Amino acid sequence: MADRRIWWERLAAHKQRLDGVRTTDIFASEPDRMVQLSEVVGDTCFDFSKHKIDQSALKALLAFAADTGLQHRIDELFAGAVVNPSERRPALHAALRAAEQRQVGATDVPAFEAARQSATQTLEQCRQLVDTLRRQFGDDGFDVVHVGIGGSELGPKLCLEALTHPRSTDPVRVHYVGNVDAHPVDHLLATLDPHRTVVCLVSKSFGTQETLTNGAILRRWLEASLGPELAATRLVAITANPARAIRYGIGASQVLPIWDWVGGRYSVWSAVSLSTMLALGYERFAEFLAGAEAMDLHFRMAPFVRNVPVLMALVGVWSRNVLGLPGHCVVPYDERLRHLPAFLQQLEMESNGKSVAADGSQIGHATVPIIWGGVGSATQHAFFQALHQGELANVVEFIGAVTPAHDHDASHKALMANMLAQSSALLHGRQTDDADPALRAQRECPGDRPSTTILLPELSPFTLGLLLAAYEHKVFVQSVLWGNNAFDQWGVELGKQLADELLPLIDGGAIPDTVDASTRLLIGRVRGL
Ligand code: F6P
Per residue in 170-229, pLDDT tens? Answer: 789 999 999 999 999 999 999 999 999 999 999 999 999 999 999 999 999 999 999 999
The residue to mutate among 260, 265, 492, having the most atoms of ligand 1 within 8 angstroms of its beta carbon, is 492
Give 354 Cα–ligand 1 centroid separation in angstroms.
17
Using the mean position of ligand 1's atoms as its centre, give its distance from the Cα of residue 87 in Å: 15
Confidence at 39, pLDDT banded by 50, 70, 90: very high
Residue nearest atom 8 in ligand 1 by C-alpha distance: 151
Dihedral Cα 334, 337, 340, 342, nearest 10 deg: 100
Instruction: Specify the ligand 1 atom closest to the Cα of 148.
Output: 16
Ranges 83-92, 168-177, 478-487: which has the least confidence: 168-177
Task: Calculate the average pLDDT of the chain.
Answer: 95
Is the minimum distance from the CB of 208 to ligand 1 under 6 angstroms? yes
> Residue with the nearest Cα to atom 4 of ligand 1?
264
Distance 202 CA to ligand 1 centre (A): 10
Given a contact cutoff of 8 angstroms between Cβ atoms, the answer to whether 434 and 443 are in contact is yes
- Please give the model's pTM, rounded to 2 decimal places: 0.97
492 lines ligand 1 (CB under 6 A): yes
- What CATH number is given for 4-15+32-79+302-430+450-482 in this structure? 3.40.50.10490
Are the C-beta atoms of residues 254 and 235 closer than 8 Å to each other?
yes
CA 211–ligand 1 middle distance (angstroms):
10
How many angstroms is it from 207 CA to the middle of ligand 1?
A: 9
Distance from the alpha carbon of residue 511 to the mean position of ligand 1, in angstroms: 29
Cα–Cα distance measured from residue 324 to residue 206, given in angstroms and rounded to the nearest whole number: 39
Mean pLDDT of 397-417: 97
Task: Tell me, in angstroms, the distance from the centre of ligand 1 to residue 244's CA.
Answer: 15
Pocket test for ligand 1, best of 152, 200, 345, 348 (most atoms within 8 A of CB): 152
CB of 211 shorter than 6 A to ligand 1: yes
C-alpha distances (whole Å) from 312 to each of 117, 470, 476 are 31, 8, 11
CA angle (271 as vertex; 270, 275 as ends), nearest 5 = 120
Please indicate whether residue 204, judged by its CB atom, sits closer than 6 Å to ligand 1: yes
Instruction: Verify whether ligand 1 is closer than 6 Å to residue 264 (CB atom).
Output: yes
Residues 438-467: pLDDT tens digits?
999 999 999 999 999 999 999 999 999 999
Which among 489, 493, 496 is the best mutation to test ligand 1's pocket, defined by most ligand atoms within 8 Å of the CB?
A: 489
Which are the catalytic amino acids?
Answer: 350, 381, 496
Q: What is the dihedral of CA 461, 293, 482, 272, to 10 degrees?
A: 60
Rounded Cα distance between 170 and 218, Å, is 23
33 touches ligand 1 (CB under 6 Å): no
User: For residue 22, is pLDDT > 90?
Assistant: yes
Assess whether the C-beta atom of 205 lies below 6 angstroms from ligand 1: yes
CA–centroid distance, 148 to ligand 1, in Å, is 9
Q: What is the pLDDT of residues 143-162, one digit of tens each?
A: 999 999 999 999 999 999 99
Three-state SS string across 341-382, please?
A: HHHHHHHHHHHHCCCECCCCCECCCCCCCEEEECCCCHHHHC
The answer regarding whether domain 129-284 maps to CATH 2.60.40.10 reads no
Q: pLDDT tens across 122-140, in order?
A: 999 999 999 999 999 998 9
Index of the ligand 1 atom closest to the CA of residue 264: 8
Q: Residue range 385-405: average pLDDT?
A: 96
Confidence of residue 108 (pLDDT cuts 50, 70, 90): low
pLDDT at 106 over 90: no
What's the gap in Å between 485 CA and the centre of ligand 1? Answer: 17
Of all protein residues, the one whose alpha carbon is nearest to atom 10 of ligand 1 is 150
pLDDT at 136: 93
- The pLDDT value given to residue 377: 97
When pLDDT is averaged across residues 91-118 and rounded to a whole number, the result is: 82
**Interatomic CA distance for residues 212 and 198, integer angstroms:** 16
Band the pLDDT of 101: cuts 50, 70, 90.
low
Return the higher-pLDDT residue of 19 and 2. Answer: 19
What is the position in ligand 1's atom list of the atom closest to the CA of 267?
8
Q: Are 394 and 354 in contact (CB under 8 A)?
A: no
Which of 316, 427, 480, 371 lies closest to 24 in space, CA to CA? Answer: 427
Q: Is the CB of 483 under 6 A from ligand 1?
A: no
If pLDDT is split at 50, 70 and 90, which confidence band does 102 have? low
* Closest CA to ligand 1's atom 3: 150
Instruction: Specify the ligand 1 atom closest to the Cα of 240.
Output: 15
Could you report the per-residue pLDDT of 329-385, keeping only the tens digit for each? 999 999 999 999 999 999 999 999 999 998 899 999 999 999 999 999 999 999 999
Q: Which helix (H) or strand (E) holds 257?
A: strand 255-257
Beta strands 172-177 and 142-147 are: parallel
Residue 489 CB–ligand 1 contact under 6 Å:
yes
Cβ pair 206, 172 in contact under 8 A = no
491 neighbors 353 (Cβ within 8 angstroms): yes
